[in-house]
A and B are shown apart, each in its own frame.
Chain A
């Protein structure tokens, strides 16, 4: 160590303001990361966690007018940013020290590689690591995370959880001294999450400093050395003894399934596959959802939950069996997608919610009420992409709720949702059940599942995992 204090990364931040913004996003934050330490930054959506993560990872300030007043200490160097005089940062050199997992893990995936193995290797390739060594390191990591079945897959065709797993694996492979992880366990099944925790523990004992950006204390955050609570961009230090149940508590909305027995959605012997994949992802699915009922879909990553929901909404055609129920065209089925960026495409929230609605119809008249009920009124003219992740998911929910669907399909609805958002989601769910509708939801969030689902349908392990041996000896 060349510098006196035993730290890999230090930050003294006076303030940060995005170009064109009217107020500071961050102010008065001090951080000092020792090797092997775990720092948890807790904050609601919009509190500035992701901005802090990007500053630590050297991705902010951008060259066009972001104002950062801060001093960073990294690898024995002192980097002094002043508003209007930001230091130019070498992204590769910085990333060798600090790696960042973004909240939407898909942004980490390059989109320029054909297979997951190549995607994992991208950083090593560009550093000039010889091929044999890359193969060795990927194989070792794949053993540890059990991702052999994914290695030959196309990174553009992964399930939501698989995307995050691959991004985490790629980061771990590059082995920077500091890892900044934005909600690393969101959307991962229990087994995968356990393997990731184990991997992070190993990295920590090897001297990697971890920074965890989170909405609530989860099992990863439980062993934190330092916990910072971020509110409106400034920082309040907590003592390490944070109660483990600081997670947003869900109000109990479990209610007895309605007395009506009408089947709103039914799968009988349904098989669904994707073009180009050898065998169907879902086979022989039997499931009925009745009026007044909330059914949960559980299962490991890649087991086909999203696939089933998309088939229920009519986005995918089953290759076998049949899906009974009201049709999407009649506006009685509404699906909230796993990743809001797949659902939002308009320029403002108001246009987004109004898309496709007849201008004088009853649904269009409901828009203001729906925006109000989800707390989106003041964002009506904002671009959905400028909103914090929680509000963005609520915008996607608004586009669904404005049609008053009879069957509400939810795919990992609690991902990125903060406590306020969660309460709104519970209310929306209850409203659908109250008016005699039904809900089918897929989630890895066990607390949410327990608080909402009347019964849970478990999906089998991923097909890919079942044919694992196939990849043992590539020809």
Chain B
């Protein structure tokens, strides 16, 4: 069972944003590595480390690949040529640039993914609903965050219905393609039908709320968390400024 933290979603998001902003601005490799390690440790505590690693790899592998291509292989400026083949040159400077950029992208992606793993989406929707943000925002968020699980459930139901008619897509990539081919059209049509069936009742129950509204769900919060959020927000603004100010001063 994955563990979740009883933190206000905004606290998690603010901390992640502060860490990312500061790290990206600082551009120190050791800081990036430290933040990445911290993210992994947190994920391990939440028993989601493998999931985080898998998702991050899926997103970062292509990103790293392209950065490596652009900065190290096709680098024209660097002086320390490590290897060359025709127009392609691998230079030490290029590798360093690619590494630094890659680390920053990594921090951005891993911290973002960690938020999605740590924050309960119902808590997040409730937090937005309870905040002074316009109700339409909560509605939009609910619609997007809850759409995927709903589709997933519908997809499973269609799979069962097809299994009852003897359609066994099988495993492997061929099975995957067969599954997609058999299920995608029913999934889209079914989802539209479902939305149409439910929308009148949702509207009748006053969803999304047009005026003042309340939530039964209590989002965990405390004075300490509010303080942490204020500090984190200050970090998001001041962190990059503090890091970059000396360079600006130097340039001026």
Contact = CB atoms under 8 A, between A and B. Distances in A.
Interface stretch (B40-48, B98-106, B155-163, B241-249): B155-163
Contacts of A202: none
Contact of A356 (B125, B167, B193, B202): B167
Contacts of B233: none
A362 interface: no
A95 B161 contact: no
Contacts of B214: 124-125, 128-131, 134
A92 B213 CA distance: 13
Given A91-B200, A126-B207, A328 B166 contact: yes
Nearest to B216: A121
A107 B206 contact: no
A385 interface: yes
Contact of B146 (A111, A118, A345, A357): A111
B193 to A, nearest CB: 6
Given A111-B150, A125-B216, A345-B186, A57 B204 contact: yes
Contacts of B146: 111-112
B204 A92 contact: yes
Contacts of B211: 128
B178 to A, nearest CB: 12
A356 to B, nearest CB: 4
A331 B211 CA distance: 55
A222 interface: no
A345 B182 CA distance: 10
Contact of B203 (A91, A347, A355): A91
A92 B206 contact: yes
A135 B216 contact: yes
B147 to A, nearest CB: 10
Contact of B162 (A102, A335, A355): A355
A328 B164 contact: yes
Given A111-B150, A345-B158, A94 B204 contact: yes
A399 interface: yes
A421 to B, nearest CB: 20
A126 B158 contact: no
Nearest to A135: B216
B38 to A, nearest CB: 29
B164 A334 contact: yes
A110 B207 contact: yes
B179 interface: no
A329 interface: yes
Contacts of A108: 201
Interface string A296-322: 000000000000001001110000000
Interface in A135-149: 135, 138
Interface string A331-342: 100110100001
Contacts of B206: 92, 95, 122-123, 126-127
Interface string B14-54: 00000000000000000000000000000000000000000
Q: Chain A, interface size: which category? A: 35 or more
Contacts of B112: none
A403 to B, nearest CB: 8
Nearest to A400: B164
A356 B164 CA distance: 10
Interface in B127-174: 142, 146, 150, 153, 157-158, 160-168
B201 A102 contact: yes
Contacts of A125: 209, 213-216
A134 B161 CA distance: 39
A346 interface: yes
B217 A110 contact: no
A283 interface: no
A113 B138 CA distance: 13
A113 B205 CA distance: 13
Nearest to A336: B164
B193 A126 contact: no
A329 B168 contact: yes
B240 interface: no
A95 B164 contact: no
Contacts of A92: 203-204, 206, 210
Contacts of B125: 112
A95 B207 contact: no
Given A345-B162, A345-B190, A356-B166, A131 B218 contact: yes
Contacts of B157: 342
A356 B168 CA distance: 10
A126 B163 contact: no
Interface string B43-75: 000000000000000000000000000000000
Nearest to B146: A112
23 contacts: A54-B200, A58-B204, A91-B204, A109-B198, A110-B198, A112-B207, A114-B217, A118-B122, A118-B217, A123-B205, A123-B206, A125-B209, A125-B213, A125-B216, A127-B206, A129-B214, A134-B214, A174-B205, A310-B160, A334-B164, A342-B157, A357-B165, A400-B164
Interface of A: 54, 57-59, 91-92, 94-95, 99-100, 102, 104, 107-114, 117-118, 121-131, 134-135, 138, 156, 170, 174, 310, 313-315, 328-329, 331, 334-335, 337, 342-347, 355-357, 385, 399-400, 403
Interface of B: 122, 125, 142, 146, 150, 153, 157-158, 160-168, 186, 189-190, 193, 197-198, 200-218
Given A104-B197, A124-B214, A345-B158, 4 more contacts: A126-B206, A128-B212, A328-B166, A345-B161
